[in-house]
């Protein structure tokens, strides 16, 4: 089925998590605020020319600045989406979210909602609704129109911002200002498409919280830093490497620490620190030595996608060998 044959959204659940879009002034600066449903309804009623689908509204609790987003909150979001689709009969979900961690959440939900036959779209704004030059209403109404237009969006997770639809597993927030904070990263290097998925990864299966960390390499990084992370009980690690996936290959202690991580069942995935390109661990000796101690290639995955993918795979309770196998296969466009 090509994109032109997907039906338009008829019933949309709007999940409001907080974020700049609905913030109001407080004694300590802008803060998340309740009451956004009425403001949204008033705005849409004032724009009768907008062709938006029917919608209902759910305010998540607590409302948060997205700087306070956590994997625990992602579990609440997944459950809210499942309830909207499987219980309340919505064919689409619009998630209003702060921009700081929007790319993380949209990528994570792409993996948390594998197999969902509904559309999920994330949007937000850089300025609160109602202030001068705000992008809030244009993003919210644009996302609703995108869901409700004639040819419709494909099932799965999307990110809408300033008239552009982005694949959540391929983009990142690259600007802290203006109307175009998100950008598709030109990443390359991937794996084959997974031909089937374990039942545990299906969207309607409960997920456990996983302990995953991100560690950027930097000149002079010591094994003590890695050992400290490992001693904290992490189950997965996104290792942000240089270039095509290189690291301190002449540091025996660092390599020994990675070996211990592998032997203790910690899944380590290498992604590149570069905005363009991807990981190819066998190009340089400094990369192949990482492969030799169990580091997996993240190919062209973004940091956000790799983090969300490990959260989902480990949280599904899959055996470590199965997690390692699936890391290097494409599940929802993160590698291909």
Confidence of residue 1 (pLDDT cuts 50, 70, 90): very low
Confidence of residue 336 (pLDDT cuts 50, 70, 90): confident
Fold of domain 199-327: Rossmann fold (3.40.50)
Best CA proximity match to 119, nearest among 140, 145, 93:
93
CA distance to 256, 278, 287, 297, per residue, from 283 (Å): 21, 11, 7, 12
Which pTM does this prediction carry?
Answer: 0.96
pLDDT number for residue 280 = 93
Asked if pLDDT for residue 289 goes beyond 50, the answer is yes
Best CA proximity match to 238, nearest among 149, 323, 171, 305:
305
Contacts of 293 (CB under 8 A, 6+ apart): 255, 258, 259, 262
Catalytic residues: 20
Q: Is 329:194 a contact under the CB 8 Å cutoff?
A: yes
Question: Rounded distance, CA 304 to CA 180, Å?
Answer: 18
pLDDT number for residue 25 = 85
Asked if pLDDT for residue 229 goes beyond 90, the answer is yes
Backbone angles phi, psi at 51, to 5 degrees: -95, 90
- How are strands ordered across the β-sheet holding 212-216? 212-216, 236-241, 267-272, 296-297
> What does the chain come to in residues?
336
Asked if pLDDT for residue 299 goes beyond 70, the answer is yes
pLDDT number for residue 39 = 97
46-49 contacts, C-beta under 8 A, 24 or more apart:
47/141
For the chain, which residues make up each domain, given as ranges? 3-184, 199-327
What rounded mean pLDDT belongs to the chain? 95
Q: Is 173:181 a contact under the CB 8 Å cutoff?
A: yes
**Given 3.40.50.1170, 1.10.10.10, 3.30.70.80, 3.30.43.10, which CATH number is that of 3-184?**
3.40.50.1170
Beta carbons within 10 angstroms of residue 90's beta carbon: 24
Please tell me if the domain spanning 3-184 has the same topology as the one spanning 199-327: yes
b/e per residue 282-311 (b: at least 16 CB within 10 A): eebebbebbeebbbbbbbbbbbbbbbbbbb
Confidence of residue 38 (pLDDT cuts 50, 70, 90): very high
The arithmetic mean of pLDDT across residues 267-284, rounded, is 94
């Amino acid at each position: 089925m090509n994109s032109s044959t997907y039906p338009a959204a008829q019933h949309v659940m709007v999940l409001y998590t907080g974020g700049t879009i609905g913030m109001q002034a407080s004694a300590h600066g802008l803060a998340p605020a309740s009451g956004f449903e009425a403001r949204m309804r008033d705005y849409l009623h004032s724009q009768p020319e907008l062709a938006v689908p029917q919608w209902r509204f759910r305010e998540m609790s607590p409302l948060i600045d997205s700087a306070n987003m956590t994997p625990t909150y992602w579990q609440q979001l997944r459950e809210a989406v499942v309830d909207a689709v499987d219980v309340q009969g919505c064919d689409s979900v619009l998630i209003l979210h702060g921009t700081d961690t929007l790319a993380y959440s949209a990528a994570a939900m792409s993996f948390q909602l594998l197999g969902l036959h509904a559309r999920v779209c994330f949007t937000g704004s850089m300025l609160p609704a109602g202030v001068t030059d705000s992008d809030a209403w244009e993003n919210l109404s644009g996302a609703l129109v995108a869901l409700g237009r004639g040819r419709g969006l494909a099932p799965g997770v999307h990110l809408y911002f300033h008239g552009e639809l982005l694949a959540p597993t391929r983009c990142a927030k690259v600007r802290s200002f203006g109307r175009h904070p998100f950008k598709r990263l030109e990443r390359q290097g991937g794996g084959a498409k997974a031909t089937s998925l374990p039942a545990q990864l299906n969207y309607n299966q409960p997920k456990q919280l996983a302990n995953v960390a991100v560690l950027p390499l930097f000149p002079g990084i010591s094994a003590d830093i890695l050992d400290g992370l490992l001693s904290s009980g992490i189950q997965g690690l996104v290792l942000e490497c240089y270039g095509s996936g290189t690291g301190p290959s002449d540091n025996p202690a660092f390599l020994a620490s990675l070996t211990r991580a592998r032997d203790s069942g910690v899944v380590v995935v290498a992604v590149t620190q570069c905005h363009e390109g991807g990981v190819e661990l066998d190009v340089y000796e400094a990369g192949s030595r990482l492969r030799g101690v169990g580091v997996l290639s993240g190919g062209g995955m973004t940091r956000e996608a790799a983090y969300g993918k490990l959260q989902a795979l480990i949280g599904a309770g899959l055996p470590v060998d199965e997690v390692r196998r699936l890391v290097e296969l494409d599940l929802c466009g993160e590698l291909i």
